Amino acid sequence: MIGVFDSGIGGLSVLAALRSAYPAADLLYYADTANLPYGGRSPALIRRFAKEAGKQFGGWGADCVQVACGTVSSLALDDFAAAAGCPVSGVVLPVVDAITRDGRRRVLILSTEATARSRVFDAALTAKRPGVATLSLGCPLFVPLVENGFFAGNDPALLSLAGRILAPGQTFFPDAILLGCTHFRLLAPLISRLFPGVPLYDCGEAAAGAVPERFGRGNGTLRVYVSDDPERFRLAAERTGSLSPGVPITSAAGE
């Protein structure tokens, strides 16, 4: 069974990619909605959340877990893996490999505040390609906006707000934008309007291809768990079209 973890709906794009790549795989998605969003929390609290989530996957018997949360991937992947007791991969290295493979030299990194402070993406990029210029911007409003359905690329108010948040990036003149949080893919049309012609690299999309094929065999089952309020999660997921109607969503707290 392949597990996918995120704090909310952001990782559903990774889940969809895995379902497409491995239609026979047994998949389990877990969103820690009770503690969403992670990005403004302290590193110690993020590590605690990661350990608790890892234990959940260990209890469910996951064979491997794809952590779709950029914040956990940046600050607490080892804590998560130790608690899960199975192979675990994050979203940092696959997207860094894609950017360096394409020869990008000026990379704007958009992420949560905690990820931006960690500078994990910056360090991975410079280690892989010395001389690359990076600028990390923490975007604390982006995850709540997406979770509440505000991500339309043609919304003038949203475009104005995003323009203020991303203003430092516009004077950086990037040749690539790294979306370091899987929630941010839903804001891609908006971001592209502010940075026309600049390619976007989605950390979740890149990571979905990193799950080994040997874990792709099974009966094609799908289970979805949340740590709080299944109906709120369903509404958020349905706004994005990233989860098929009728998929049961279960509260992990009720187990």
Q: CATH number of the domain that 133 lies in?
A: 3.40.50.1860
Q: Do 17 and 107 have their domain in common? A: no
Going by their DSSP bridges, the two strands 106-111 and 249-251 should be labelled as unpaired
Question: Confidence class of residue 248 from pLDDT cuts 50, 70 and 90?
Answer: very high
Q: Do 96 and 201 have their domain in common? A: yes
pLDDT at residue 22 is higher than 60: yes
Q: Do 74 and 107 have their domain in common? A: no
At residue 255, the pLDDT reads: 53
The boundaries of the domain holding residue 114 are 92-205
Q: What is the average per-residue pLDDT within 251-255? A: 74
Peptide bond into 37 cis (omega under 30): yes
Tell me which residues are annotated as active site. 69, 181
Q: Do 38 and 103 have their domain in common? A: no
Q: Which of 205, 223, 242 is the last residue of a domain?
A: 205
Q: Do 41 and 120 have their domain in common? A: no
pLDDT at residue 167 is higher than 90: yes
Measure the CA–CA gap between 73 and 1, rounded to whole angstroms.
Answer: 20
217 in helix, strand or coil? Answer: coil
Q: Do 82 and 13 have their domain in common? A: yes
Of the candidate ranges 33-37, 60-64, 170-174, 213-217, the one whose mean pLDDT is the lowest: 213-217
Of the candidate ranges 169-173, 179-183, 236-240, the one whose mean pLDDT is the lowest: 236-240
Query: Minimal CA–CA distance to 215: which of 38, 63, 93?
Result: 63
7 in helix, strand or coil? Answer: coil
Q: Do 158 and 121 have their domain in common? A: yes
Q: Do 86 and 96 have their domain in common? A: no
131 Rama sector, left if φ>0, alpha if ψ -120 to 50, beta otherwise: left
At residue 254, the pLDDT reads: 57
Q: Which distant-in-sequence residues (6+ apart) come within 8 Å of 217 by Cβ?
A: 22, 24, 25
What domain count does the chain have? 2
